[in-house]
Homo-oligomer: A and B are copies of this chain.
Amino acid sequence: MQRTLKVYLAGEIHSDWRGELATAIERAGVRAELLAPVTDHDASDQCGVRILGEEDKAFWRDHKGAGINAIRTRTLLREADVVVVKFGEHYRQWNAAFDAGFAAALGTPVITLHDDGLSHALKEVDAAAMAVAATVEQVAEILGYVLSE
C-alpha cells in the first residue's frame, strides 16, 4: 500500500540488531520509518546527571536518566504503527518487556524478536504479540508483507 509504516524498535541496545534490520528493510525496499530509543548506552545512562546535575546516589542518577529517556520512548511508543521488541540472552531487559506491555495496552500491534530458547520465559509477552520472529530478516519480511500492494 502507498503508505509508510512507523515502526518503533524497543529492547536490547548492546547488539546491532537495529542496524541489521535497517539494512534488511532497505534491501527489500520496504517503506518503514524506524524509530528507536537512544542506543548509545553511555549517553543513555548518563543523560540525567549530565544535563540536570550530579547525584550522590546511583538510584537517583538512574531515575533522572530514565525520566529523560521516557520522554522519547513514550512519544515514539504512542506514535508507532507497529512495535518490534527484541529480547536477547544478556542483561535483564525489563524495559523491553515494559514497552511491550505499554504498547499492548494501547492496542498497538507488537512483534517480538528473540531466539526460541527464550520462548518459555517470554510466553506472556509472546501471547500479546501478533508475530513472534527469530531473526531480523523475518521482521523485515513481515513489514514488507504488511506493506505489499
Contact = CB atoms under 8 A, between A and B. Distances in A.
A30 interface: no
Contact of A127 (B2, B51, B63, B103): B63
A122 B96 CA distance: 11
Contact of A102 (B73, B105, B134): B105
Contacts of A35: 1, 3
A122 B33 CA distance: 28
Contacts of A105: 101-107
Interface of A: 1-3, 5, 33, 35-36, 38, 40, 43, 47, 51-53, 56-60, 62-76, 78, 81-82, 87, 91-107, 109, 111, 116, 118-134, 138, 141-142, 145-148
B145 A51 contact: yes
Contacts of A92: 92-93, 118, 121-122
Given A5-B75, A132-B52, A145-B51, A126 B63 contact: yes
